[in-house]
């Protein structure tokens, strides 16, 4: 009987060690992803500010006009290819406004989601306990952020399109739906973890 308990204890210690190792690796990856996303956010924000500043200096009356009317700045490097960077660098026109309106918030929410996951992984790697109220809260937050990352940019893009002047050319970039599905799946997983917390408490109180 004692031998079986010792064997179960050894199994558990082994599983805990493997869990900590995996979480440590994932934490490093999460930290790198967060740093990259934050770097992208900061560089795009700096580029937007630089463009807006240039446009305001050359007579644009407000922020929207600055984005809408601005000419490509000769001081900025050439854009890599399409997307957000292209909108910032080659901008001008309502397409740039709608792209920025949907791209920047999505990037910001992505940074927040990456940060949430990274902090959660760090907690689990430190404590070796995945079933805790803290992890459940983190999972819920990240699931909400994933849903927001798809919904908020689509709404902002829609608002920008309503504010578009007559005849302005732009394309509506709505949500893809995948982040919403991922968020819903993560919310379901957080429910499973809630149940895991109850079982963990029972196990802690059993000798």
Partner 1 sequence: MIVLRLDRVLADRKMRSKELAELVGISEVNLSRIKCGRISAVRFSTLDAICRALDCQPGDLLEYVPDE
Q: Identify the residue among 57, 74, 81, 207 touching partner 1 (CB under 8 A).
A: 207
Q: Identify the residue among 5, 57, 77, 80 touching partner 1 (CB under 8 A).
A: 5
Residue whose entry in the numeric block shows the structure tokens 């630089």: 50
Alpha-carbon span 14 to 18, nearest angstrom: 6
Position 4 contacts partner 1 (CB under 8 A) = yes
Other beta carbons within 10 Å of 42 = 12
Position 206 contacts partner 1 (CB under 8 A) = yes
Position 13 contacts partner 1 (CB under 8 A) = no
Closest alpha carbon to 186 in 147, 146, 143, 124: 143
Nearer to partner 1, 31 or 197 (CB): 197
Contact 44, 103 (CB under 8 A): yes
Position 2 contacts partner 1 (CB under 8 A) = yes
Nearer to partner 1, 75 or 202 (CB): 202
Q: At its nearest, how many Å lie between partner 1 and the CB of residue 201? A: 9
How far from 135 is each of 55, 157, 187, 190, CA to CA, in Å?
46, 33, 12, 8
**Candidate ranges 3-11, 31-39, 63-71, 176-184; the one touching partner 1 (CB under 8 A):** 3-11
Closest alpha carbon to 93 in 168, 17, 178: 168
**Candidate ranges 1-9, 35-43, 58-66, 108-116; the one touching partner 1 (CB under 8 A):** 1-9
**Candidate ranges 32-40, 87-95, 114-122, 199-207; the one touching partner 1 (CB under 8 A):** 199-207
- What b/e string do you get for 76-101 counting C-beta neighbours within 10 Å, with b at 16 or more? beebeeeebbbbbbbbbbbbbbbbbb
User: What residues make contact with partner 1 under the rule CB under 8 A?
Assistant: 1-2, 4-6, 202, 205-207
């Amino acid at each position: 009987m004692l031998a079986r308990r010792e064997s179960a204890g050894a199994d558990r210690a082994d599983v805990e060690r493997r869990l900590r190792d995996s979480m440590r690796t994932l934490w490093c990856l999460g930290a790198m992803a967060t740093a990259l996303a934050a770097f992208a956010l900061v560089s795009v924000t700096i580029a937007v500010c630089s463009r807006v500043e240039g446009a305001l200096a050359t007579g644009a009356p407000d922020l929207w006009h600055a984005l809408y009317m601005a000419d490509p700045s000769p001081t900025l490097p050439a854009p890599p290819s399409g997307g957000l960077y292209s909108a910032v660098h080659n901008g001008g026109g309502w397409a740039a406004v709608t792209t920025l309106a949907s791209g920047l918030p999505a990037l910001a929410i992505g940074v927040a989601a990456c940060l949430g996951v990274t902090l959660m992984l760090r907690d689990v790697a430190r404590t070796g306990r995945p079933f805790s109220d803290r992890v459940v809260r983190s999972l819920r937050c990240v699931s909400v952020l994933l849903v927001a990352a798809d919904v908020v940019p689509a709404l902002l893009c829609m608002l920008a399109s309503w504010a578009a002047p007559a005849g302005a050319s732009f394309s509506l970039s709505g949500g893809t739906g995948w982040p919403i599905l991922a968020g819903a799946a993560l919310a379901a997983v957080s429910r499973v973890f809630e149940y895991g917390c109850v079982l963990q408490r029972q196990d802690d109180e059993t000798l």
